[in-house]
Amino acid sequence: MLKKRNGLFAAFLGVALLVSGCAGSNSASSSADANTIKVGWFGPLTGPTATDGTLSRDAALLAVEQVNAAGGIGGKQVQLVTEDDQGKPEEALKAVQKLINSDKVVALVNGAYSGPAKTVAPKVQEAKIPMVVAYAVHPDITKGGDYVNRVIYTGDIQGKAMADYAVNDLKKKNIAVLYVNIDYGKSIYGAFKIEAEKLGAKVVIDKPFKMGDKDFSSLLTAIKAANPDALYVVGYYNEAAAIVQQAKEAGIGAQLLGVDGFDSPKYLELGKSNTEDSTFTTSFYTSDQRDIVQKFVKDYTAKYKSEPGMLASQSYDAAMVILEGMKKVGTDKEQLAKAINETKDFEGTSGKITFGADHEVIKPVIFMTIKDGKFRFVHSKVYN
């Protein structure tokens, strides 16, 4: 009796594991023929960063569908082949090798985080496949050659932009900084510190924190003692929401400043009314009145039943830059890489996109704030 029940339980366990395993496998693999052009996408579809990856894939898919609906590229339909990297560099490498070798994609949309993106970049250069990075900010990704471009600005630009805004516009002199202890946080904070000090402000205290930290009360007690007039938080919405809440609880009244990691509805959901007045830099806002943005917001909302955010916009633009290049020169990889590099004043959802000689994007930085529980546009400015 006992044995039988255990057998049943084991069977249940096995089936459940199988189901959860299958949920992670890739979705788009419909039959392909000579009349389709394959574009690869990879990013996290399972694991802790799956939400971001899914948003990115959805937006890239929308870009492809829109182009297909408008007649495709030279009469051919485009197919987006997606691979899950689980947020891990080694899985990303496998995904990219599969996309290049067995799917024979002509270009790649990089919907992954910095770690995986950095790992695959040399392989992609070597295989001479044009790749556009959607939202990974590590500086090394684009350094290896002419095949990798990036539609989001690197951390340096954001740090510089916020330093300019905090010191020149908000007249803040004593700034405290909390930064997430990964490339993203360190590179943005590094540039911020240099620029802020050049402009005559002082960083009175800086403390690193880790992704996944929840209790910031000790850090904030130390920050309160330093008595800053602004608190710059370089991190993502989960931690940022916890920090704004606990900063209020600790009685810190300093102006809260942030980065594009804040730009998610989750920030408002988790941080509630504590998010009020926090101001951050990003690259996209839904109330932008340009046609391209309004059409993107309308189509995205109709298809996915939620408003697109910065991540979706970045990924949509990354795909669009590739598709635009294909419209000009077709699917020859070398020509395509050249066409992508020569992108100039392309109307993207995140502003007019131009690539510099260093394969980095030149486009405006957007400042947003939170009023009455909603994101509000403040102003935008081009930095480089």
Partner 1 sequence: MLAQQLLNGVALGFHYVLIALGLTMVYGVLRLLHFAHGVIYMIGAFAAMIGILYLQLPFAVALLFAMVVSGIVGMSIERFAYRPLRGTHPITTLISGVGISIFLENVFQVMFTSDSRAFPETGITTSIITLTESITITNTKLYIIIAGVVCLGLLYGFLKLTKLGIAIQAAAQDIRAASLMGINVNRVVAVTFMLGSALAAVAGVLVAINFNSISPTMGALPGLKAFCVVVLGGLGSIRGTIVGGLLLGVVESLGDGFMTDLVIDKDAIAFVILILILLIRPSGLFGKHIEKV
Q: Which positions lie near partner 1, rule CB under 8 A?
A: 2, 6, 9, 13, 16-17, 19-20, 23, 46-48, 50-51, 181, 206-208, 210, 212-215, 217-219, 221-222, 225, 238, 241-242, 245, 249-251, 266, 269-272
Read off the tokens for 251. 């009685």
Which residue lies nearer to partner 1 by CB, 101 or 217? 217
Nearest distance from residue 17's CB to partner 1, in Å? 7
What is the nearest approach in angstroms of partner 1 to the Cβ of residue 244?
A: 11
Round to whole Å and give the CA distance between 235 and 181.
9
Nearer to partner 1, 25 or 218 (CB): 218
Q: Which is nearer to partner 1, 152 or 241 (CB)?
A: 241
The least distance separating partner 1 from the CB of residue 108, rounded to whole angstroms, comes to: 25
Q: Which has the closest alpha carbon to 110: 146, 77, 148?
A: 148
Identify the three-state secondary structure at position 225.
helix
Q: Which is nearer to partner 1, 35 or 51 (CB)?
A: 51
Handedness of CA 256, 195, 181, 149 (dihedral sign): positive
| Closer to partner 1 by Cβ: residue 52 or 324 | 52
Instruction: Spell out the SS3 assignment of 313-335.
Output: HHHHHHHHHHHHHHHHHCCCHHH
Write the DSSP symbol of residue 166.
I
CB of 258 to partner 1, least distance (A): 17
Count CB-CB contacts under 10 A for residue 331: 17
CB of 180 closer than 8 Å to CB of 209:
yes
* Pick 19 or 302: Cβ nearer partner 1: 19
Rank residues 213 and 229 by Cβ distance to partner 1 and give the closer one: 213
Q: How far is the CB of 237 from partner 1 (least distance, A)?
A: 9
3-state secondary structure 246-277: HHHHCCCCCEEEECHHHCCHHHHHHHHHHHCC
- Rounded to whole angstroms, the Cα distance separating 239 from 141 reads 25
Q: Tell the residue number behind the tokens 């002509």, with chain if given.
A: 106
Shortest separation between residue 209's beta carbon and partner 1, angstroms: 8
**Shortest distance, position 248 Cβ to partner 1, whole Å:** 8
Q: What is the DSSP letter of 23?
A: T
